[in-house]
Structure 1
Amino acid sequence: EAGPDFSAETCPQASLSDLDLAAIEDFRVRWRRKTNNDALVNLSAEQLLTDAELMVDGKLTYAALVLFGTRQALGRYLAQAEVIFEYRSSEASGPAAQRIEFRQGFLLFRDELWQTINLRNDVQHFQDGLFVYDVPTFNEVAVREAILNAVSHRDYRHGGSIFVRQYPRKLEIVSPGGFPPGITTENILWQQFPRNRRIAEACVKCGLVERAGQGANRIVEECIKESKSLPDFSGTDAYQVFITYHGEIKDPLFLRFLNKLEREQVASFTTRDWLVLDSVRRNQPIADDLQSNLSELLREGLIEKIGRGRGMRYVLGREFVSRTEAQSPTPDASRQVGRFSVKNSLLELIADSKEAGVALNDLMQAQPDLTRRQVQNLLRELLDEGRVRVVGRTKAARWYI
């Protein structure tokens, strides 16, 4: 069961001298900028912390130590409030290539931690027409939000530290204590339960987050926008939250698809809209609670339905796919986008065949500009992606959804 907010409890021995005044001033500037409240400028440090509910009856809360504490103070009163960064070039066991222990207030090291990660943040490229776009392996918004979530929601009654492990193409964040009561991997986007409410509310006040409880949504949205895998919580148990963020771009064509949408249209997407688009991109079933969003995206033409009955599938809107193809003048880009369109066309033909299936020769007749080997290669890709199945061999083989 959930206990009282540990971060709101006071630390009897701690005093204002245990906090870094520069971090408090940073908090003041951020809070004033967010609220346009000029009265915050003239408040004493004690009054500022009191108004932020980080000091109660002249005593500092543990939230104040987590956000502003000096290294010496945390060593005395809350040694587990540290983040350990490791860089590893491979999965091989042994010491990390780099290890840094951040045991001080979060506002004192949050930028340094991101800068350390960004030093080895390889840039991936994708081409859209004449333009080549750079996509960092690790998205700054998602990474900062994930680290902030770990600091805000970890269990400070647990003696362990937060670990941030960076690899060339993935980032692991492990924080002590499992999910708060009522939170699971299935509902984490829709349920809110801040374990350390006082820390979370202070972060909202100073604008580190727009609204408490929205961190997981932002992380998921950023992953989908960059055509990356969704965060993986498979290592989570009752004693730790273990999240893996994969930085590899999965589908450059999806990025080109998004590039063709109006900016206002993309800005209006909700988390549920993004999840529908991601499910369609991966050819996965649409969850029941996303059906209303699916219907809206179908009405807007962003998604189309092909086939009927059991063979029915959803694909990205062909209007935007064809627009992508038309605006990709380089040979390589045109070939890749054309490949995407042909695969969708083959998929539609197979879906329309229903239980009868379709033979290779029939599929070849529908694509007269392609050789037999080219059609076979595309079918093999669809097979590897789990989007089609084949029954029989050689000329007797038939293809099904």
Structure 2
Amino acid sequence: MERVNTMPEDIIALIAALANQENENECLEFKHGNTDPNRIGRDISALANSAALLGHTFAYKIWGIDDSSHDFIGTSFNPKSVKVGNQELELWLRQHLSDNVEFRFETADVLGKNLVLLRIWPAQYRPVLWQGLAYIRTGSSTQELRHGSRREEELWNRTRAEVFELQHALSGLTAEEVFVRLDVDWYQQEFNLPKTASTDQTLHMLASDQLISLQDSGRYAITNLGALLFARNLDSFPTVARKALRVIRYDGSSPIAPSRSKTFSFGYAELDQMLEYIEALLPEQEVIEGARRVTLRAFPHTALRELIANMLIHQDFSITGAGPMICIFNDRIEFTNPGRSLVDVARLLNDPPHSRNEQLAAIYRRLHLCEEAGSGWDKIVLDCERCHLPAPQVEEPGDNMRVTLTQAAAYRDLTRQQRLDAAYWHACVQYAQRIPMTNASLRERFDLPASGASQISRLIKNCIDDHLIKIADPDAGKRYVRYLPYWA
């Protein structure tokens, strides 16, 4: 996780405020020594779960403070230099913790004493596990969370009710600091707000869109939603820094030799800038149309735009160690996001829309970056058909979803699976338009002449044999036979 640029005096003030608390508790622990990595891992699980259970913004563990007197006594512990085997401590901890936890080590010099602060975010979506077990705090003690207990049930209920987009990415900010962290000018431009709007009016609009929230202290918190959409720099927000879109361009068709890469550190609202950069990396060719020389890119604009928007909106934010990524090869482009599809991938085009992140999708719709109408896959498939590309290939490797677009190829050069996939998706998109698929419509999809009817007939038979499509009316004559997706 990238580090947020927190000023040292802010850390010192935080440590001082925590040291002034009367006792250690479920979300606060002081240590002088005891740097056993296993103990740290158990405590992260326990503190994250306790913070979620009690509704705290953070939990903390501090080395260098006496747990009885709360005096600053310092510590020799340096989390950056500690290794477990050959691994750095933080990496080792993340490998043994469940992927729904976030934490950060920070150091400070207080009165000439070295102190280490471990800041831990509340558990999200489910209890945080350490080596497969959940832990919890009782007072100042860490203990295993008993399976089937009332506390476990309450913790599950708490974490399931949390909405990631509305949780705080940064808190305790002044109005000026909100304007520094968020690209408010872009927000005003996109929502047609007058540039003469006062600071209070702009803050009110940001709060009404749930991009920020007013805290009891009178200061402001930026939500994960606000950071994801309008951050000037996502690295400034620890909870979403790893969610920045990364684009990698490879030489050739193998992932062995990347030629360049870029991580978009600004918010998702600037999707068109992302798309412009990506399209500039794509293979292209010049053709003559009439008297004009025209540049044709290998992949259609609308399909690219819809796929980028889909991967950003529908990613699973509970998977903390991964973010959206686009890989560009000479012959294809791959879109990968954390989180499997919420619907059967075979029904992406025709099932009702189902968004994993409703607040993000709603803002994207208002920005005219998506429709929230379930038409995205229709556009992707239709755009591929118009340009005679193979159908989008959809895979779910592990806890991820990957969609691959491949450059146009002649029918004879397509694999058997590419032909089957194209025929199936054509049947789906025709069904969505209330037009059954025919031999002629499928020939047109592959840009084949009438003489290719026999080839398409063999393909249709293969699709029926593989239970991808079915005959709409078994009693219809051969010249009038129509086809539907297998589930219609």
Q: Is 2:151 the partner of 1:6? A: no
Distance 2:458 2:224 in 1: 50
Distance 2:356 2:377 in 1: 14
AA paired with 1:83? L
* Contact 1:280 1:315 (C-alpha < 8 Å) held by counterparts: no
AA paired with 2:185? E
When the two chains are superposed, the root-mean-square deviation of aligned CA atoms in Å is 4.3
Aligned to 2:452: 343
More displaced 10-residue stretch of structure 1: 281-290 or 98-107: 281-290
AA paired with 2:280? L
Matches for 1:244-393 after TM superposition, within 5 Å: 244-248=404-408, 250=410, 296=435, 314-316=439-441, 340-344=449-453, 347=454, 382=455, 386=459
1:52 deviates by 1.9
Q: Is 2:359 the partner of 1:202? A: no
Flag the 1:291–1:82 CA change in 2: closer, same or farther, 3 A. closer
Other structure's SS at 1:94 match: coil
- Which residue of 194, 198, 208 maps to 1:51? 208
1:386 deviates by 4.4
Aligned to 2:243: 81
1:125 deviates by 7.1
1:135 deviates by 4.0
After superposition, the C-alpha distances for 1:61-83 in whole angstroms (9 at most, x for unaligned) are 20100111132654534221211
Other structure's SS at 1:210 match: coil
- TM-score, with length taken from structure 2: 0.49
Alignment: residue pair count: 288
Higher relative contact order (CA 8 A, sep 6+): 1
1:185 deviates by 0.2
After superposition, the C-alpha distances for 1:345-398 in whole angstroms (9 at most, x for unaligned) are xx3xxxxxxxxxxxxxxxxxxxxxxxxxxxxxxxxxx39974799xxxxxxxxx
Distance 1:288 1:77 in 2: 39
- Which residue of 264, 267, 283 maps to 1:122? 283
Distance 2:249 2:358 in 1: 31
1:112 deviates by 3.9
* Structure 2: gaps of 5 or more residues: 1-124, 126-159, 215-219, 412-417, 463-488
Distance 1:139 1:285 in 2: 17
Structure exhibiting the larger radius of gyration computed from Cα positions: 2
Distance 2:311 2:295 in 1: 28
Aligned to 2:403: 243
Aligned to 1:152: 313
Flag the 1:134–1:316 CA change in 2: closer, same or farther, 3 A. farther
- TM-score, with length taken from structure 1: 0.59
Other structure's SS at 2:183 match: helix
Other structure's SS at 2:388 match: coil
AA paired with 1:139? P
Distance 1:163 1:5 in 2: 23
Matches for 1:158-177 after TM superposition, within 5 Å: 158=319, 159-177=321-339
Other structure's SS at 1:70 match: coil
Percent of aligned pairs with the same residue? 14
* Structure 1: gaps of 5 or more residues: 33-37, 252-277, 304-313, 322-336, 348-381, 390-401
Distance 1:67 1:168 in 2: 31
- Which residue of 89, 92, 99 maps to 2:254? 92
Aligned to 1:371: none
Aligned to 2:190: 30
Distance 1:113 1:91 in 2: 22
Distance 1:99 1:285 in 2: 32
1:40 deviates by 8.9
1:238 deviates by 4.8
Aligned to 1:224: 385
* Contact 1:11 1:59 (C-alpha < 8 Å) held by counterparts: yes
Other structure's SS at 1:186 match: helix
After superposition, the C-alpha distances for 1:147-186 in whole angstroms (9 at most, x for unaligned) are 1221211122212122110012211111112223xx1202
1:100 deviates by 1.3
Aligned to 1:275: none
Distance 2:332 2:386 in 1: 17
Distance 1:385 1:14 in 2: 66
Distance 2:366 2:425 in 1: 39
AA paired with 1:152? I
Matches for 1:102-117 after TM superposition, within 5 Å: 102-108=264-270, 110-117=271-278
* Contact 1:19 1:65 (C-alpha < 8 Å) held by counterparts: no
Flag the 1:90–1:75 CA change in 2: closer, same or farther, 3 A. farther
Aligned to 2:30: none
